[in-house]
Amino acid sequence: MHAIMAEPLDTLQTPCLLLDEARLRANAERMRTHLAGLGVALRPHLKTAKSLEVGRIAMASPEGPAIVSTLLEAEYFAAGGVRDMIYGVGIAPAKLPRVVAIRAGGTDLSIILDSLEQAEAVAAHARASGDAIPVLIEVDADGHRSGVAPGDADTLVAIGRTLVAGGAKLRGVMLHAGDSYSLRDPEALAAAAENERVAAVTAAEALRAAGLPCPVVSVGSTPTARFARDLTGITEVRAGVYMLGDLFQAGVGSVAVADIAVSVLATVIGHQRAKGWIIVDAGWMAMSRDRGTARQAVDQGYGLVCDQAGQPYPDLIVADANQEHGIVALRKGSGASLPELPIGAQIRILPNHACATGAQYDRYHVLDGENRVTATWPRINGW
């Protein structure tokens, strides 16, 4: 954390990424309280924020636990003192030497996999390196992506036995209810969370019935974490986007627009008045190409436009974008009027997707409650 004298937003070159620290802390606290009430541990996913400073606000302790999406994140957070991590993408055998190197540095990094081929490769590497690499078997909650079917006890047990017999460690099962992102109704989200829970417990029981260990039963996504009502049998919940929030999660209903802690600061660089366009210096490079809200009830274009202080203008969105140009316009059919924003005026844009927009930046400019910049926090990108 690089503390600086609090400075006004006008001193920043645009586009740049802003982080409202009070909103971040409130989002972290809300999820912590919710899951504590359900009696499970929170393992924050650091793939959204990719920042040690943000991670320390979200994690139970500076040592973790946490989950990451790349080995570069694992290396970065391990160097920052995080001692309990999952690398949450199915392991490629060629990545095992990096996993073992991180573990040799004193971080309990576990990996995930969903095939016998991977289990055999991990067991062979565990034997060769003398490190009993801990493994979670990825289980498929909803057909969204990867994972062994929760009812496929034969495959689960075969993978578990291969790991244990081969010198690796079977730590448990993990699931991600990715299809919850397409929902919106709270009842449907609660049902998705329950479906994820049942799939996890089913898989864990299959391993235990075969005499295999399964101490960890890990589930999670921001929507199911937020809408889960009962987590019996689950030991930990993972979620990440909730810390920062974004318009897509607001469309799902798992955060409120007023809780979104990240925004892009941009400057007006032109007008096409006959078309009702305001041109700003934040295009898709600054916002990312993410158009996830296009499939939701409210299409937010490339982002929702706010004044410099962060207050949304009615119906004003980044309607289209080129690489370094955003075209700001009223939502189609809106009865609102275009604000008068002269050349040089600053605006703030709430992003569709915090993970995608954040990845375009190497730092956050951190704001206090009066929209002054109090610090710069670095982000890690890449693999």
Q: Tell me, what amino acid is at 152? A: D
Q: Which phi and psi (to 5°) does residue 148 adopt?
A: -75, 140
Is 120 strand, coil or helix? helix
Q: Find the helix packing angle between 96-104 and 71-79, rounded to 10°.
A: 10
Q: How far is the CB of 275 from its own copies (least distance, A)?
A: 8
Q: How far is the CB of 61 from its own copies (least distance, A)?
A: 26
Nearer to its own copies by C-beta: 226 or 325? 325
For the chain, the farthest-separated pair of C-alpha atoms sits apart, in whole angstroms, at: 72
Nearer to its own copies by C-beta: 81 or 371? 371
Tokens of 250: 């607001």
Q: How far is the CB of 159 from its own copies (least distance, A)?
A: 12
Q: How far is the CB of 67 from its own copies (least distance, A)?
A: 12
Query: According to DSSP H, which parts of the chain are helical?
Result: 21-37, 52-58, 71-79, 96-104, 116-129, 153-166, 186-209, 222-227, 247-252, 284-287, 354-358
Q: Tell me the CA distances in angstroms from 49 to 67, 158, 203, 316, 383, one per residue in order.
A: 12, 36, 30, 26, 15
Residue with tokens 């036995």: 161
Nearer to its own copies by C-beta: 146 or 371? 146
Asked if 66 and 84 touch (Cβ cutoff 8 Å), the reply is yes
Q: How far is the CB of 251 from its own copies (least distance, A)?
A: 16
Helical (H) or strand (E) element with 143? none
Is 264 strand, coil or helix? strand
Nearer to its own copies by C-beta: 5 or 94? 94
Nearer to its own copies by C-beta: 2 or 145? 145
Q: For Cα atoms 59, 218, 149, give the angle at the middle one, nearest 5 degrees.
A: 150
Contact footprint for its own copies (CB under 8 A): 10, 13-16, 47, 69-71, 89-95, 98, 114-115, 117-118, 121, 140, 143, 145-146, 178, 267-272, 275, 279, 281, 284-286, 288-291, 322-325, 327, 342-344, 353, 355-356, 359-362, 381-383
Buried b (16+ CB within 10 A) or exposed e, 106-117: ebbbbbbbbbee
Nearer to its own copies by C-beta: 261 or 282? 282
Tell me which residue of 50, 35, 26, 138 sits closest to 360, measured CA to CA. 50
Q: Using CA atoms, how far apart are residues 242 and 35, in angstroms rounded to an integer? A: 13
Nearer to its own copies by C-beta: 12 or 60? 12
Nearer to its own copies by C-beta: 231 or 248? 248
Q: How far is the CB of 284 from its own copies (least distance, A)?
A: 7
Q: How far is the CB of 290 from its own copies (least distance, A)?
A: 4
Nearer to its own copies by C-beta: 26 or 128? 128
Q: How far is the CB of 174 from its own copies (least distance, A)?
A: 14
Q: How far is the CB of 68 from its own copies (least distance, A)?
A: 10
Is 297 strand, coil or helix? coil
